[in-house]
Amino acid sequence: MQDAVSICQWLVLIAAVIYALRTTVASLVFLRRAVPWAEALAVSVWLLMLELPMFYSVGLRQAPVNWLDGIAMGLYLTGSSIHSLAEFQRYRFKADPANQGKLYTNGLFGLVRHPNYLGDTLLFTGWSLLTGNAWILILPTLMLSSFVFSHIPRMTRYLASRYPQQFPDYAKQTARLIPWVY
């Protein structure tokens, strides 16, 4: 039993390392703006608030590794891949001077307007499931709620004002967060 718990502890730790590396690369390479120290600190505190309960819960885990852990890792890896690929696709588009002032609507952004939020929702759901504590699923639920009720409406207003000619058609044709659903 202890070996199974240790495996899950290692998986949660590996997920944290992957997430930290991916976030660092995204911040230093893909963002086209400087990240103020206050924002970096706020994001770091937010991540600690998400990760510490996961580390604590996985330490209390009593259940052996099972099929749900495989699904959890699949969700984590799928979400991480979606987020990273979306950011990379947008970065490549924006790096081309011919695309200056244009809205990126291809790749994963052709399926949903916010694939990065979709990816984060999937990865944090998987990561939370790895802990074996159902209460930790509150974290991705809160994250999804913040996306739906705060971030997506704010980004919708921003994109509509930044790209008034392109955004209305894009918004009509593209789901906000979940392809073909929402």
CB 153 within 8 A of CB 177: no
Task: Give residue-wise pLDDT tens across range 5-54.
Answer: 578 888 888 888 888 888 888 877 777 677 778 877 887 787 788 788 88
DSSP character string of 86-125: HHHHHHHHHHSGGGTT----SGGGGTBS-HHHHHHHHHHH
pLDDT at residue 51, rounded to an integer: 80
Confidence of residue 98 (pLDDT cuts 50, 70, 90): very high
pLDDT at residue 16, rounded to an integer: 86
pLDDT at residue 25, rounded to an integer: 82
What is the domain partition of the chain in residue ranges? Answer: 2-173
Task: Give residue-wise pLDDT tens across range 130-154.
Answer: 888 889 999 899 999 999 999 999 9
Q: Whose CA is closest to 61, among 8, 103, 118?
A: 8
pLDDT at residue 138, rounded to an integer: 93
pLDDT at residue 4, rounded to an integer: 57
Comparison of pLDDT for 59 and 78, the residue scoring more? 78
Task: Give residue-wise pLDDT tens across range 109-136.
Answer: 999 999 999 999 999 999 999 888 889 9
Task: Give residue-wise pLDDT tens across range 159-176.
Answer: 999 999 999 999 999 999
pLDDT at residue 3, rounded to an integer: 65
CB 119 within 8 A of CB 23: no
Fold assignment, 2-173: Four Helix Bundle (Hemerythrin (Met), subunit A) (1.20.120)
For residue 50, count other CB atoms closer than 10 A to its CB. 19
